[in-house]
Chain A
Amino acid sequence: MSMKTNLKGILEGSGFAVLAAAPAVCGTDLSAVSDFARLLKGKVTAVFAADNPGARVSASALAVSVKLLAEGVEPVLCMTTRDRNRLALESDLLGAGALGIANVQIVNGAHPSLGSHPSAHRVYDVDAVQWIAAATRIASEKTLISGEAVSGDPSFFIGAAANPFVKTPELHLPVLKKKVAAGARFLVTAPVFDAARLATWLDNLKKSGVTCPVIATVAVLPDAATARHLARAGRGMAIPDSVIARIEKAGDKSLDEAIAVAVENIQAVKALPGIRGVAIIAPGSETAIPRVMEAI
């Protein structure tokens, strides 16, 4: 049986997906997630439940996904290969399948040294390509990496990460080809602030033979200082100085300006051939997401 999800239906059809990222909560009170789900119910295709984003601890993506489901919002379970070995990943994926969670976004994740626990042991038992292949096989062949059989009827719709703003696409495109060959059915980009560079990358992607749907991430930057930090921190975030300057100049209206930037970015990316959806992230300002969505 193939589990039908809103996201799968739209991306395999001809629609345009609208996704958002749920708040990452470092605690046991997930009411912010439920509130967020109620705010966006019926307005989004699905919502990402992040997995310790930025290598900072938050309540598990599985728990957040369950909260989203309970509010009638379709989750996208994010899984990094940073914190769990193959046993834990397989166990969590089977658990997700059992709970009715089918959309899965697989990433390597930011290195622990960049997050809240820089002294943590990093895992990376498998990499994102390997885990995409293994997760795909759990559904298609009903076997674990070990070859052991799994029961039930698992079905997943798997996505992968892509950074269009790397300076050596010839090195990074083969990885994306492998992610898709391994079973990824959509790619989610790093935050886009430069639609022209995204367009060039989309063109290169097409030329390299990768045809799967691309979802462009659009970020509402919290403030100029954070933007500057993200731009500097070497996390693949290409944030132009002009954008940071705009937000800084706005002073106490910086959130309004950040929303305006996000709206402009959505308008710029949604017309690009190959872009099949947008994912809106607004760390710490999630309630601003409906205002950004008005641009779609």
Chain B
Amino acid sequence: MIVAEHKPLKELLALVEGFDRILMVGCKGCVSVCNAGGQKEVAILAAALRIARKRAGRPIAIEELTLDRQCEPEFIEWLEEPVKKGGCQAVVSLACSIGPQYIAEAYPTLPVLPGLNTTFMGGTVTHGVWAEYCSSCGNCGIANFGGLCPVTRCAKQLLNGPCGGSVDGFCEISPETPCVWELIYERLKNLGQLDRLEAILAPKDWSTSLSGGPRKIVREDLIL
């Protein structure tokens, strides 16, 4: 899933400065699962903004709405009524950054503000802890690495083994970041594939990643 987290309240207050009637839109997709932008978080964040603005003597009216998803145009259409009826001056989206961009495209003259920092593609480690597992390079090579991804989980995205900064199983950037190459080694050992460590992997083709420019998939068989 896409993992995100709230922007700090101070930053959000600065973003909505100058507006006194806004719509805050949550998303029931990934950001709801990671407790950043679902219905509950919309309610909490809207309340926090209202309280802060009231204390500052500049009250703000915030209408709340949570869409099934913000990364589908048909769900964005659901904003039509609250945007028009409520007369909101701006929309704060609590989706990953796809949401505010879809809303911006649908409402060319309406300011759209991101309420979240979209952080990474990852998964739950334990309750309240998420970690990054994929950088969407567009050309998955994890079969070479026992099913683990050094492109994402090695701070230097090394494809031919660990660097000398790997100490006691942890990365040189932090004693809390496991060296993925240690994990890859264990996996390959368990799989009887340690010989994979001997192969020199050629420079990766990054043209399928964001380096090649914004990407798009067209599935002719699905186009109506």
A residues contacting B by CB (< 8 A) are 82, 86, 108, 110-111, 113-114, 122, 124-130, 133-134, 145, 161-163, 166-168, 170-172, 174-175, 177-178, 181-182, 190, 233-236
Contacts and interface: CB of A to CB of B under 8 A. Distances in A.
Contact of B200 (A170, A171, A178): A178
B163 interface: yes
B175 A127 contact: no
B157 interface: yes
A170 B159 CA distance: 17
B163 A108 contact: yes
B166 interface: yes
Contacts of A175: 160-162, 197
12 contacts: A111-B155, A127-B160, A128-B163, A133-B202, A134-B203, A163-B165, A166-B162, A166-B166, A168-B166, A174-B197, A175-B161, A233-B172
Given A126-B203, A127-B157, A129-B161, 13 more contacts: A108-B158, A124-B156, A124-B157, A127-B156, A129-B159, A166-B162, A166-B166, A171-B161, A171-B162, A174-B198, A175-B162, A177-B198, A234-B172
B142 interface: no
Contact of A167 (B165, B168, B185, B206): B168
Given A129-B161, A161-B164, A235 B172 contact: yes
Contacts, number: 104
A114 B160 contact: no
A161 B164 CA distance: 8
B15 interface: no
A229 B160 CA distance: 29
B158 A124 contact: yes
B110 interface: no
Nearest to B166: A166
B182 interface: yes
Given A124-B157, A130-B160, A236-B165, A168 B182 contact: yes
A284 to B, nearest CB: 22
Interface string B177-189: 0000110010000
B162 A130 contact: no
Contacts of B174: 234
Contacts of B202: 130, 133
A110 B172 contact: yes
B131 interface: no
A182 B165 CA distance: 21
B213 to A, nearest CB: 15
A108 B150 CA distance: 15
A130 B157 CA distance: 12
B182 A171 contact: yes
Nearest to B168: A167
A234 B167 contact: yes
B164 A178 contact: no
A172 B161 contact: yes
Nearest to B189: A170
A87 B12 CA distance: 41
Given A171-B181, A172-B164, A236-B167, A133 B200 contact: yes
Interface in B178-224: 181-182, 185, 197-198, 200-203, 206
Q: Which 4 A-B pairs have the closest CB atoms?
A: A163-B164, A175-B161, A129-B160, A174-B197
Contacts of A166: 162, 164, 166-167
Contacts of B175: 234
A111 B198 contact: no
